[in-house]
Amino acid sequence: MEQELLLKEQIQQLCNRAGNNNFGDVMVVGGGISGIQASLDLAAAGYKVYLVDKAPSIGGHMAQLDKTFPTNDCSS
Amino acid sequence: MIKKPKYVDESKCTGCKACVEYCPVKYPDQFNQEISQNKAIHIYFTQAIPLATYIDESCLYLKEKKCTICQAICKADAIDFNQTAEKVEVNVGAIVLALGFEPFDPKLRNDYGYGKFKNVVTSLDYERILSPSGAYEGEILRASDKKHPHKIAWIQCVGSRQVNPAGGNSYCSAVCCSYAQKQVILTKEHDAEAECTIFHNDVRSHNKDLERYFQKTEQLPGVRFIRSYVSIGKEIPESNNVTIRYTTPDDGVKEEEFDMVVLSIGLNPPTNYQALADKFGIELNSHGFCKTSLSNPMEATKPGVFVSGSFQGPADIPESVYTASGAGSQCGELLDYRRGKLSKERIYPPERDVSQEEPKVGVFVCHCGANISRVVNVPSAVEYALTLPNVVYAQEQLFSCATNSAKEIADMAKEKGLNRLVIAACSIRTLEPLFRDTLREAGINQYYLDMANIREHCSWVHSKEKEEATHKAKDLIRMSVARSSHLKPLQEFALNVNKTALVVGGGVAGLTSALSVANQGHEVYLVEKDTDLGGMARRIHYTLEGLDVQEYLHDVIRQVYQHPLIRVYTEAAITETGGFVGNFITKVKAQGRVTEIKHGATILATGAEEYQPIEYLYGKDDRVITHLELEEQIVKKEESLLNTRSLVMIQCVGCRNEDRNYCSRICCSESIKNALKLKELNPQMDIYILFRDMRTYGLKEDYYREAAGKDVRFIRYEAQDQPQVEEAVDEDGRNVLRISVTDLILGKKLEIDSDKLALAVAVIPSAGSQEAVDLFKVTTNQDGFFKEAHVKLRPVEFAVDGVYLCGMAHYPKHIAETISQSYAAAGRALTLLSRDSVVASGAVAEVNGNDCISCGACITACSYGAIEFIMTPQGRKAGVNPPLCKGDGLCNTVCPTGAIQLKNFTNEQILSQIDAAVAGL
């Protein structure tokens, strides 16, 4: 427990020293279906994630598809 | 990182799109593949996240300092031309590269008329043409005259499976066969009279359930599959129709006219892949995809950098999803020490007690882009909703599921004091969780929600009867409003999570997932029925790509045995299991002792088996062997094999037939793998592969080419004309196996005298999987492979909470794919195990002990084992275990006295709905 507090403090100090809040656990590059899933999983498992995409929106190519095989469910 | 300026302040933009309306600049819409026009200021696409406008490079102000109309229009004062590119620095412990793919550009080749002939489009263009939010609002139109095309052709393998210096890739893009079939099905749904022709090479329907999908497409009237290389002929000036030249064995070369041609383009690595690789310090393979470890497809060449999705190589959606979860799990292994240190819990506003209030219902009617509003008159439905009892507010929305719409709903609920919400949109199956969340945001109990499904149940099925459909939509809304007034606030409850995992199956899948879970600090019990760990992989020695499987396997088994958190039970059987998500109890019998294991998550990795053939003299003549047996002989360098002059392999033995109507997926690559090994051992050996479709998908295609280059001979046969095998004596008096097969190119029967026959036999579900089905209450598909919760988006979990799947028990897989999926199962299990509690639904069944006659009908009906007899003061009565209950209501229907009721679907609620339905007659 004590160790954990120490670690938390250390991380906090590191954040402060960096002078900004841009301290995270994982950066996911690409906001298509794969990047979104990776981000969701990591966030649900207790990590702070930066998700980065070059387009103005996440979604990637899957958002461009009408439906998906073999169920023909809506893609976007 | 450089954050590009959007010239719109996202925090202020409401997504109202007034600016878009007034913007004078029209510019080809990139999201719609430049088929339609958009404005210089626009929202990327209708369901974009963030749902805010941005200004692109076509803006007059950015180019010439003119205009600024949008600034004047915007009421939120969100337009900010002073934005500049911003440098952002981020410090992280790991990176996941999910860079995706770039669609192949057929313009580079200039040989299919793309960019030259108006009615030649790519498959991605065609997706935007099919889509209701696409270029023509969901109507299939030709670019030349905006008319409906009647005769449409698909050309497969455009930019794939070709070695062409002018552009194109040697590998197979793995997804195009099935997406083209999907486009044919959708085209036929749009226009039942359409004539669709697919010009193809091998049909690669290698993934789960895709063989049946192919058959479904093939059997549609007016659909032709023609196996031929093609070239584009000409564009006919008057009609802008396009001709295609192709050959058939019967008719020779033909030229046929089509109204429209769709090019099934392949998947390239992302643009600027080299620059990106340099930036992240990783290596690429010869195609420009990420170079990964042979035994770990998520591991890039730099520590701490992981890769998922089609940046590994062509991948479909489920693979992109499970490699993502797998990469996530490996980040977790690396960063376990800091889990939960930086993340924040989401906090909802306190729940308002509305139980004493009169129902005040708000109705939100969704256009779903054009999915609903193309058929249903949405404004009139809104007007109608306002006339219904208890409704105090109603409005329409373009996409109720969009972020800003959800916020709008929550805001309106607060402003108007709504205490019940009716969302008239799509199926609850997809979006109920989202709207429940919206209610929580509004401070209302999330069970005060009803959804009227006016899409699947209305606009989609009544697309030709607009007036009646609108009428029906109103009926559905009236019913929902009636029910909503009887809804009760229900409480979800938190369950503690036991931090231990149980892994069933000690093959590569079970070993990998057990290690990954244990490496993240959780205790794991690994149960294997055999005496040794390793499973099917014990019989595999090398992969097509060159992994030494035995070395790898020994290493993994050693790690498992040495891991302080993993306990291994071999020769073990599971005798009993029970409990629910986060709190399972399983009894394992091993070495005569029964151990009771308490665990929060279960991973089922029960593997698959090799089909024992009855075909082709197998078992009668010992020269006929399966591929696993051949591999054994290769590794032992057996005399009889080395002396073989001629060896034949037959594909699809025991599958792709009536008994097993699926493709076993791995056998084509296995045959190539062994053929190449044999050529290495004895280059003089004549090797023939008799196949139906060579399914060396993705990057494995290169090995197929290599084998063909090394004189392995490939002969295609048809399902209805299978090869025949007989024992015979050749001219030299030697005993041979004589295999006769029709050569479809030459059109005549061939006889091959061979010394050995290797059968590429089917992969079949294991007996262990069937036992698991009975024990763990999970389901399989009709072929006996585990059925995942969602084929695309939840590929490694079951519908039962807390139970995950991986490996061949899901579907035949190569070792590397199994490893990916096993990491994914571990990753998904960690999203549960890393938490202290999980929330279980409040919409569960409940027994009224006074009415229960203890008949047990509900207990038999429940497929989740959620009901059992309990002792109560009134005697033995049925009792529901709420965390196990899925709220499917099967028990309700069989209860003879109505003692068991489903909360949230009470008789009162359903009867009120029926009354409202009848009231409209």
User: Is B45's CB within 8 Å of A57's CB?
Assistant: yes
The number of C-alpha atoms within 13 Å of B811 and in the hemisphere containing its C-beta is 22
Quote the DSSP letter at residue B456.
I
With a cut of 60, say whether residue A15 has pLDDT above it.
no
Asked if the Cβ–Cβ distance from B89 to A32 is below 8 Å, we say no
How does pLDDT run across B657-667, given as a tens digit for each residue?
Answer: 999 999 999 99
Question: Contacts of residue A51 in chain B, CB cutoff 8 Å?
Answer: none
The pLDDT of residue B596 is above 60:
yes
Taking the C-alpha atoms of residue B241 and residue B113, their distance in angstroms, rounded to an integer, is 12
| CB < 8 Å to A69, chain B | 178-179, 181-182, 210, 213
Point out the residue among A32, A46, A71 whose CB comes nearest to the CB of B309: A32
Q: Residue A8's pLDDT is what?
A: 62
Strand order in the sheet with B686-691: B624-626, B756-761, B646-653, B686-691, B713-716
Task: Provide the pLDDT for residue A13.
Answer: 63
| CB spacing of B337 vs A7 below 8 angstroms | yes
- Indicate which of B292, B341, B835, B838 best probes the interface with A, i.e. most A CBs within 10 Å of its own CB: B341
Q: What are the backbone dihedrals phi and psi of residue B435, each rounded to the nearest 5 degrees, phi first?
A: -75, -30
User: What residues in A contact B328, CB-CB < 8 Å?
Assistant: 37-38, 41-42, 45
End-to-end Cα, chain B, rounded Å? 62
Question: pLDDT digits over B842-852, tens only?
Answer: 999 999 999 99
Residue of A nearest to B53 (CA): A56
ipTM rounded to 2 decimals: 0.88
Using a CB–CB cutoff of 8 Å, tell me whether B130 touches chain A. yes
Tokens 């090394």 identify what position?
B710
Which residues of A fall within a CB distance of 8 Å from B331? 25-26, 42, 47
Contact assignment for A35 to B827 by CB distance below 8 Å: no
Pairing of the two strands B608-610 and B624-626: unpaired
User: How far is residue B422 CA from its own chain's centroid?
Assistant: 30
pLDDT-based confidence at residue B402 (cuts at 50, 70, 90): confident
Q: Tens digits of per-residue pLDDT, B533-558?
A: 999 999 999 999 999 999 999 999 99
Token digits for B183? 């486009």
Sign of torsion over alpha carbons B530, B534, B536, B538: negative
Closest residue by Cα to residue B391 from B483, B471, B472: B483
Q: What is the pLDDT at residue B355?
A: 83
Chain A with chain B: Cβ pairs closer than 8 A: 206
pLDDT of residue A9: 67
Minimal Cα–Cα distance from B492 to chain A, Å? 19
The alpha carbon of residue A5 is apart from the nearest alpha carbon of chain B, in Å, by 10
pLDDT at position B571, please? 97
Residues of A within 8 A of B212 (CB-CB) are 70
pLDDT digits (tens, 9 = 90+) for B782-811: 999 999 999 999 999 998 899 999 999 999
pLDDT of residue A2: 59
Choose the closest CB to A38 out of B328, B792, B830: B328
Contact B751, B740 (CB under 8 A): yes
CA separation (Å) from B796 to B258, B282, B825, B887, B901? 42, 28, 6, 22, 32
B420 touches chain A (CB under 8 A): no
Residues of A with CB below 8 A from B315's CB? Answer: 34
Q: Which two tokens stand for residue B97?
A: 């590269």
Dihedral sign from CA coordinates of B419, B420, B423, B427 = positive
Q: Which sequence spans correspond to the domains of chain A?
A: 23-74
Chain A residues whose CB is inside 8 A of the B339 CB are 45-47
The answer, yes or no, to whether residue A1 has pLDDT greater than 60, is: no
B779 touching chain A per CB within 8 A: no
Q: What's the confidence (pLDDT) of residue A7?
A: 63
Taking CA–CA distances from A74, the nearest residue in chain B reads B131
Q: Does any CB of chain A come closer than 8 Å to the CB of residue B325?
A: yes
Q: Assess whether pLDDT exceeds 70 at residue B110.
A: yes
Strands B120-122 and B646-653: unpaired
Spatial strand order of the sheet with B501-504 comes to: B566-569, B524-527, B501-504, B601-604, B803-805
Query: Does any CB of chain A come closer than 8 Å to the CB of residue B828?
Result: yes
Instruction: State the nearest Cα–Cα gap between B244 and chain A, in angstroms.
Output: 26
**Taking 60 as the threshold, does the pLDDT of residue A20 lie above it?**
no
B268 interfaces chain A, CB cutoff of 8 Å: no
**What is the nearest CA distance from A10 to chain B, expressed in angstroms?**
11
Minimum distance, in Å, between the CA of residue A28 and any CA atom of chain B: 5
Check whether B853 has a pLDDT greater than 90.
Answer: yes
Across A56-70, B46-60, B275-289, least confident range: B46-60
Residues 557-616 of B with CB under 8 A from A: none
Q: Do A28 and B127 make contact, defined as CB atoms within 8 angstroms?
A: no
| pLDDT mean across residues, chain B | 94
Pairwise CB contact (< 8 Å): A25 & B93: yes
Radius of gyration of chain A (CA): 18
Report pLDDT for A5: 59
The C-alpha R_g of chain B, in whole angstroms, comes to 31
Q: What is the dihedral of CA B321, B323, B329, B331, to 10 degrees?
A: -110
Averaged pLDDT for residues B40-48: 89
Among B92, B154, B278, pick the best mutation site for testing chain A contact (most A Cβ within 10 A): B92
Please name the residues between 46 and 75 in chain B that touch chain A, using a CB distance below 8 Å: 47-50, 54
Query: Is the CB of residue B858 less than 8 Å from the CB of residue B877?
Result: no
**Interface mutation target, options A6, A8, A12, A29, chain B, most CBs of B under 10 Å:** A29
Q: What is the nearest CA distance from A19 to chain B, expressed in angstroms?
A: 11
Cβ proximity of B52 and B19 under 8 Å: no
pLDDT at B584: 96
Q: Do B1 and A22 lie within an 8 Å CB cutoff?
A: no
Q: Among residues B479, B471, B424, B488, which one has the least CA distance to residue B911?
A: B479
Which residues from A are below 8 Å from B88, CB to CB?
Answer: 22
Q: Decide if pLDDT at B841 tops 90.
A: no
Q: Do B95 and A29 touch (CB under 8 A)?
A: yes
User: Which single residue is written with the structure tokens 């006769």?
Assistant: B740
Question: Average pLDDT in the B823-837 region?
Answer: 96
> Which pLDDT band holds residue A3 (cuts at 50, 70, 90)?
low
Residue of B nearest to A21 (CA): B90
Q: Is A51 on the interface with B (CB under 8 A)?
A: no
Q: Judge: B309–A68 Cβ closer than 8 Å, yes or no.
A: no
Asked if A48's CB is within 8 angstroms of B47's CB, the reply is no
Q: How many CB atoms lie within 10 A of CB B874?
A: 10
pLDDT digits (tens, 9 = 90+) for B324-369: 999 999 999 999 999 998 888 788 999 999 888 999 999 999 998 7
- The closest alpha carbon to B594, from B580, B624, B573, B566, belongs to B573
Q: What pairs with residue B580 in β-bridges?
A: B583
For chain A positions 3-32, those within 8 Å of chain B (CB to CB) are 7-8, 11, 18, 20, 22-32
B791 at interface of A, judged by CB pairs closer than 8 A: yes
Residue B58 has pLDDT above 70, yes or no: yes
pLDDT tens column, B165-190: 777 899 999 999 999 999 999 999 99
Would the CB atoms of A46 and B340 count as touching at under 8 Å?
yes
Cβ-defined contact of A66 to B831 (cutoff 8 Å):
no
Q: How far apart are alpha carbons B130 and B183 in whole angstroms?
A: 8
Question: Chain A contact for B98, CB < 8 A?
Answer: yes
Characterize the bridge pairing of strands B713-716 and B686-691: parallel
How close, in Å, is residue B41 to chain A by CA atoms?
Answer: 12
> What pLDDT does A21 receive?
67
Closest CA to B296 of B332, B248, B329, B269: B329
Contact A66 B186 (CB under 8 A): yes
CB contact (8 A) between residue B97 and residue A29: yes
Provide the 8-state DSSP code for B457: I
Cα–Cα distances in angstroms (integers) from residue B535 to residues B40, B267, B505, B608, B625, in the given order: 59, 34, 8, 9, 20
Give B456 to chain A, closest Cα distance, Å. 11
